Amino acid sequence: MARDAHLIRQGNQFYLRLAIPRPIRHLFPSSRSGKPRDFITEPLGRNYDPARVECDWRVADYRALFIRAAQMTPKAIRDEIEAIKQRAAGRHAMADWDSPVVANEFAKFMQTQKPGSLDTPIGRPFDIINALLQQRHALLQQLAVATPEGETISQAGDAWFAELQRAGVRAQTLEGHRLRVRAFVDGVGDIPLASVTRAMASDFLTAVANGRANRTVNNYATTLQCLFKSARNRGRFQGENPFEDQRRKAAGEKREAFTAAELHKLFAALPLDIAPAKHSPESALPWAVRIAAYTGMRLEEIAQLVVADVQTRGSNGGTVVVFDIHNGDSAHHLKNDSSARAIPVHSELVRAGLLDYIKALPQDGLLFPGLKRRTSKGGKIGARLGELFRKRLIKLGMKRDGLCFHSFRHTVAQRLEAAAVSQTDAARVTGHAIEGMTYGTYSSGPGLARLKAVIEEISYDLG
C-alpha cells in the first residue's frame, strides 16, 4: 500500500525506513561510523496497526526536520532527533495495550478483588482489558487523523501520469516526465506537496543547472509545475505553485553552425566503414554525422531509421532515393507532425557508399543495428550517439558554446539560405512547420524531383 511506503518488516519486528534527501545526508551521520546515512531506520514494534500509525507520525516529524536541517547546527539536529524519539516513546506508552500503563491498570484491578472472586464471573478481568483496548483504538484513530494528510510528490506524479496516458501522450514524453519527477524525489524525499517550498524548488533547479543548458533546466521546471497544477485541479493541493515562474532565461543558448573547415576536420576524424565487423554506436557515428550534414535531420530521426525507411520512389519519369521520416509505430517517434517528410538522399552520401552499406544489412532491421534504446534517457535510441559526438568535439578541440549535434540543422539551414532556397522548400527539408499549409512533404512526382535539386544545394566545398 502507498500508505506503508516507509514501513518495512524484518522477522517479527516492524521498522521505519525513510530516505534522507541527498543534499543533507552529511548532517545525519551514523553513530557508529560517522559516515552520512542514507536512511532513518528505527524499530516500531511487533504489531502492525500501531506500527503503521507510528510510522506515519515519525515520517511527518522527520520530514519537518529535513526541511529545516540545512539552517540548523549539528547539535540542534541531534536534539530534535532525540525529541522525536521522546515523543514517540510517550505515544507508545499511551497507545500500546501491553505497555506499563496497561499493566499498572490491570494490577490495580487485581488488588481490588477478593480471593476466589476471579472464578465468578471469570470474564471481569477481561473487561478492563477490553476497555483499555477500546481506549487504545480511539487513540490510534486520533493519531491517524493528526498525521499530516495530502498527497506526496510520488502519489501526485502517479495521478498526473495516468491523466497524460489517458490523453494519449506518447510513451517517450511520459517517460521523460517520470525521470524528472523521480530526480526531484531523490533530491528532497517523497514529501507531501504542501511541504515543498519555492526555496526548495529553486535549489533543486540550481542543482540541475550544474553543467546543463537552461533549456534542460526549464524542462524540469515545466514538468514539476504541471505536476502541482494537476494536483491543484484535483483538489489535492492548495496554495502557491512552488515551480511557478522558475524557468531560466535561455538567452545565449543559440546553436551555431559548423564551418566548412570544421566539417572537413570532423569527416577526416570519422572515417566511414561500409561493412563493419561489428555494429556499434562508434561505427554508426560517422554515418550519422554525414547524414545530418547533408539532410539536416535530427539526431533521433537518424538513429531510429530502419532499412525500409530508405526507399526508391517515382519522380517525373525517373526515380529518387529518399529517407522516409514518419511517425505512427513503435519504432518511430517524431518531435511533431510537421517533422514527417521525405528527404532525397544527397549524392555525396551515395558517393560515400551509403547504399552499399545498406545492402549489407538485414532488410528488416535498424539502419544502425548497434544502437539501443535507453530507459534512462526517456527511451531515446540516439542518446549514445550524442554523447560520443560531444566527446569527439572535445577531443578535436572544437567544442564551444552552441556547437553540438543539433548544429547540423543550423548548418543545413544556413547553406540553403546561402543558395537562395525558398523558406518553404527549406522547411520541407528540415521538417519545420509551413505556415498556412496543411502539408509539408513531397512524396512523389515533380515535387520530389524539385526537392532533390534543393538537397543538392547543400555543399561544403570540401575539395
Tell me the per-residue pLDDT of 82-114, one tens digit each, with 9 for 90 and over. Answer: 888 888 876 665 554 444 544 555 555 555 655
329 CB burial (10 A radius; 0-12, 13-18, 19+): exposed
Q: How confident is the model at residue 454 (pLDDT cuts 50, 70, 90)?
A: very high
| pLDDT at 368 (0 to 100) | 95
pLDDT tens per residue across span 369-397: 999 988 767 678 998 999 999 999 999 99
* Distance (Å) of CA 374 to CA 158, 326, 378, 385: 22, 21, 7, 12
Residue type, 455: I
Residue with the larger pLDDT of the pair 290 and 123: 290
How many other CB atoms sit within 10 Å of the CB of residue 39? 14
| pLDDT at 173 (0 to 100) | 85
Which residue, 40, 32, 24, is CA-closest to 74? 24
Which residue, 295, 463, 294, 303, is CA-closest to 372? 303
Q: Residue 48 has which C-alpha cell?
A: 502492525
Q: Distance between CA 21 and CA 196 in Å, rounded?
A: 13
| pLDDT at 373 (0 to 100) | 87
Highest mean pLDDT (candidates 204-213, 269-278, 368-377): 269-278
Over residues 5-14, the mean pLDDT reads 86
Q: Domains in the chain and their CATH numbers?
A: 2-108+127-146 (no CATH), 153-233 (1.10.150.130), 260-455 (1.10.443.10)
Q: Cis bond leading into 192, ω under 30°?
A: no
Q: Distance between CA 139 and CA 420 in Å, rounded?
A: 81
For every residue of 32-90, which 3-state class applies, written as one string? CCCCECCEEEEEEECCHHHHHHHHHHHHHHHHHHHHHHCCCCHHHHHHHHHHHHHHHHH
Q: Residue 323 has which C-alpha cell?
A: 529517407
| pLDDT at 319 (0 to 100) | 87
| pLDDT at 462 (0 to 100) | 65
Q: How confident is the model at residue 190 (pLDDT cuts 50, 70, 90)?
A: confident
- Give yes or no for a contact between 78 and 52, defined as CB atoms under 8 angstroms apart: no
Res. 436: pLDDT tops 70: no
Q: How confident is the model at residue 307 (pLDDT cuts 50, 70, 90)?
A: very high
Q: Distance between CA 324 and CA 342 in Å, rounded?
A: 5
Q: Residue 203 has which C-alpha cell?
A: 535549489
Q: Distance between CA 66 and CA 123 in Å, rounded?
A: 49
58 CB burial (10 A radius; 0-12, 13-18, 19+): buried
Which residue, 26, 38, 33, is CA-closest to 69? 26
Residue type, 263: L
| pLDDT at 268 (0 to 100) | 94
Instruction: Give residue for cell 546561402.
Output: 418
Q: Distance between CA 140 and CA 334 in Å, rounded?
A: 54
Res. 332: pLDDT tops 60: yes
* Distance (Å) of CA 224 to CA 56, 177, 247, 343, 351: 25, 8, 11, 37, 48
- Give yes or no for a contact between 409 and 294, defined as CB atoms under 8 angstroms apart: no
Q: pLDDT averaged over the chain?
A: 81
Q: Output the pTM of the full model.
A: 0.52
Residue 13's φ and ψ, nearest 5 degrees, are: -125, 140
Residue type, 403: L
pLDDT tens per residue across span 44-77: 888 887 788 788 888 888 988 888 888 888 888 9
Instruction: List CB contacts of 458: < 8 A, sequence separation 6 or more.
Output: 293, 294, 296, 346, 412, 415, 416, 419
| pLDDT at 354 (0 to 100) | 96
Highest mean pLDDT (candidates 56-70, 210-224, 280-294, 374-388): 280-294
Residue with the larger pLDDT of the pair 400 and 440: 400
